[in-house]
Amino acid sequence: MSDYTKYQSDVIVDLLQHYEFEYIAINPGASFRGLHDSLINYGGDNPKMLVCQHEETAVQIAHGYARATGRPMACILHDLVGLLHGQMAIYYAFTDRAPVFILGATGPMDEGKRRPRSDWHHTAQSQGDAVRNFTKYDYQPHAIEGVTDSFMRAYSTMVTEPQGPTYLCYDALLQETPLTAEVRMPPADAQRAPAPMAADPVVLERIVATLLAAESPWIMAEFTGRQPGNFEKLVALAETLGVAVWDVNSALCFPNRHKQNLSMDTPSLAKADAILALDVRDWEKATAKLDSTTRELNSYLSEDCIWMDVGFHETGLKSWSLDYGRYLSKAFSALGDPRLAMLQMTEIAERLIAADPALPGKIAARKARIAERHDALFAGWAAEAEAQREGSPLTLPRLAQEVWDVIGQEDWVLSCGTLRQWTRKLWDFDKPYRHPGKSLGTSTQIGMSLGVALAHKGTDKVVVAIQPDGDLMYDAGALWTAAKHEIPLLIVMFNNRAYYNDWHHQIRMARARGTDEGKAHIGMDIFDPEPDFAMIAKGMGMWAEGPIDTPEEVGPALRRALEVVKSGKPALVDIITRHR
């Protein structure tokens, strides 16, 4: 390339390669044609480009990839219009604390260089305004000299806890201008982000002492599982303290079959006298019951329960979004990264236990009580699943069990949805990568599942997505992306032919008002006609079977699909289920 004229967009590719981005998801757009050419002809398709049929899908693939790997992924959104298309997915990445590196573009800010009409109505004065309320950082460099600095800052900000998406917008003319001077690049040995933040050891000691003194202490964890090693650190901390653990499931923080796991056991919370919220934002959903009809909120906890927390609760808040929830009054509270705090608290606990002869016996007795309750929970769920085994369409526990029977002997990963928690009740989540986190809102799951599967492409892991029908209706084009790029994903349709979450709300409203419950499905159902998801998938170039509503046919179909996925390609099995 000795005669090659280097362009300013090539510098962006240099930076992407310097920061080792493996993939970049796009929906094509002319505003980044300079960068697009640089990625292919200067960068050699490194990062590897993935073509998506919608900007939301591009962001969601990056979101799922980041969840599964702990590393950020990049995407590019075309101009103002592409950014507006991707807004919802960016918002979900923000509320889910996902490090998504979003690149964008705009028509030339030099009015004399703009194409009539197109470059004008696709250009905004400050394009970052569209997503500023739900990104950690945005910037639009005005000259090539600002590209490197803003890129470094965006990356560091994005991966610093609490993590979140960032947005960099590049002028089309800046991209297309030849590079006439050397541009400073980040030093090879530069630290890319600050080291984790340590919590105040004095406060940690008070928290540990409170948990040891309690009769029924708990740890509630939400995001700790996002960082490598934290799964094992929480096991060590919980076992040392002898506490029950509730995994909120924004990441897999704790093995579900561990004897101290009491997740989803709301009756036991009434006995809790001390709770440590460990990197938790959504503490109230797990500890309180909302009557969806009257909107009356009642806590499962006693008024005397002591609340404490360690994490990033007071950082990263935005006034525009209320994703932080109701304020939690705490007896003790420390800002600090759980990567460090869990190790610190384990060491503190070991020291305090060694100094008090009464504590080992007390902890052993607590563990025995917790284990007994844990065993009773799983036995009860197994009996409930068996009682609901028969019938057509499939019950949800029957579908969960059928999928488990097929993948349980594989090195498996569940991408998003948990089938209304039945997978958590019946499967064995024994390793930290088994589940990157629970599903989010409608029109998120298929894209995020593709990102999770992309993260494991080329490995022996089998990634399965339990895919709602309403969610896939938003973006069936994502199936083409899976086929095009050979993303091995086993898609098991959770097809109840309805937006049933909202349908159920309408049933409750009808009962409360005494109106016709039989009409609650209007505006909620997905039938008359019923979409044929297997046919849609085949039309996109995928292997598919269904619809299947006979329970005995599910297992054989899933096994056939599994062989396709293990060959390195996606497969879909459309299974008709009951609503609940």
Give DSSP secondary structure letters for 311-342. ESTTSS--SS--TT-SPPP-SEEEE--HHHHH
Spell out a b/e string for 556-580, using b for 16 or more CB atoms within 10 Å of the CB, else e.
ebbeebbebbeeebbbbbbbbbeee
Class of CATH domain 388-576: alpha beta
Of all helices (H) and strands (E), which one includes residue 94? Answer: helix 79-95
Given CATH 2.40.280.10, say whether it is the number of domain 201-379: no
Spell out a b/e string for 5-14, using b for 16 or more CB atoms within 10 Å of the CB, else e.
eebbbbbbbb
Token pair of 58 as six digits = 């591009």
Q: Phi, psi at residue 347, to the nearest 5°?
A: -65, -40
Looking at every residue in the chain, the average pLDDT score rounds to: 94
Alpha carbon distance 363, 423 (integer Å): 30
Cross-strand partners of 285: none
Apex 123 CA angle, 121 and 124, nearest 5: 110
Q: What is the pLDDT of residues 459-510, one digit of tens each?
A: 999 999 999 999 999 999 999 999 999 999 999 999 888 777 777 778 888 8
Strands (E), 172-232: 217-221
Distance of CA 264 to the CA centre of its chain: 19
Of the candidates 421, 441, 333, the one whose C-alpha atom is nearest the C-alpha of residue 94 is 441
Alpha carbon distance 482, 457 (integer Å): 11
**Residue 143 burial by Cβ neighbours in a 10 Å radius (0-12, 13-18, 19+):** exposed
Q: Which residue has the higher pLDDT, 91 or 530?
A: 91
Q: CATH 3.40.50.1220 in the chain: give the residue spans.
A: 201-379
Q: Phi, psi at residue 573, to the nearest 5°?
A: -120, 120
DSSP letter for 163, please: P
The residue-averaged pLDDT of 123-129 equals 88
Q: CB neighbours (10 Å) of residue 503?
A: 17
Q: Are 139 and 151 in contact (CB under 8 A)?
A: no
Token pair of 240 as six digits = 């040392």
Cross-strand partners of 458: none
The CA-atom distances, in angstroms, between 319 and each of 96, 134, 322, 324, 535 are 17, 10, 7, 10, 45
Token pair of 406 as six digits = 């097929």
pLDDT of residue 1: 55
Q: What is the pLDDT of residues 167-221, one digit of tens each?
A: 999 999 999 999 999 999 999 899 999 999 999 999 999 999 999 999 999 999 9
pLDDT of residue 256: 98
Of the candidates 139, 501, 151, 196, the one whose C-alpha atom is nearest the C-alpha of residue 344 is 196
Spell out a b/e string for 175-210, using b for 16 or more CB atoms within 10 Å of the CB, else e.
bbeeeeeeeeebeeeeeeeeeeeebbeebbbbbbeb
Alpha carbon distance 169, 136 (integer Å): 14
Token pair of 426 as six digits = 């019946």
Q: CB neighbours (10 Å) of residue 463?
A: 28
The residue-averaged pLDDT of 392-408 equals 95
Q: What is the pLDDT of residues 264-287, one digit of tens each?
A: 999 999 999 999 999 998 888 889
The residue-averaged pLDDT of 95-112 equals 92
Q: What is the pLDDT of residues 515-547, one digit of tens each?
A: 988 887 888 787 889 899 999 999 999 999 999
Token pair of 198 as six digits = 């340590």
Instruction: Kindly tell me if the per-residue pLDDT of 2 is higher than 70.
Output: no
Q: What is the pLDDT of residues 292-344, one digit of tens each?
A: 778 888 899 999 999 999 999 888 788 888 888 888 889 999 999 999 999 99
Alpha carbon distance 559, 81 (integer Å): 42
Apex 10 CA angle, 7 and 15, nearest 5: 145
Token pair of 393 as six digits = 């369409």
Q: What is the pLDDT of residues 5-35, one digit of tens each?
A: 999 999 999 999 999 999 999 999 999 999 9
- Whether omega for the bond prior to residue 47 falls within 30 degrees of 0, making it cis, is yes
Q: CATH 3.40.50.970 in the chain: give the residue spans.
A: 8-176, 388-576
Q: Which CATH number fits domain 8-176: 3.40.50.970, 2.60.120.680, 3.40.50.2000, 1.10.40.60?
A: 3.40.50.970
Alpha carbon distance 534, 55 (integer Å): 24
Apex 220 CA angle, 218 and 222, nearest 5: 170
Please, which pLDDT band fits residue 115 given cuts at 50, 70 and 90?
confident
Helix (H, G, I), strand (E, B) or coil at 220: strand
Q: Are 158 and 166 in contact (CB under 8 A)?
A: yes
pLDDT of residue 286: 87
Alpha carbon distance 119, 136 (integer Å): 27
CB within 8 Å of 540: residues ≥ 6 apart = 476, 477, 479, 480, 482, 483
pLDDT of residue 324: 83
Helix (H, G, I), strand (E, B) or coil at 438: coil
Torsion of CA 215, 221, 225, 226, to 10 degrees: -150
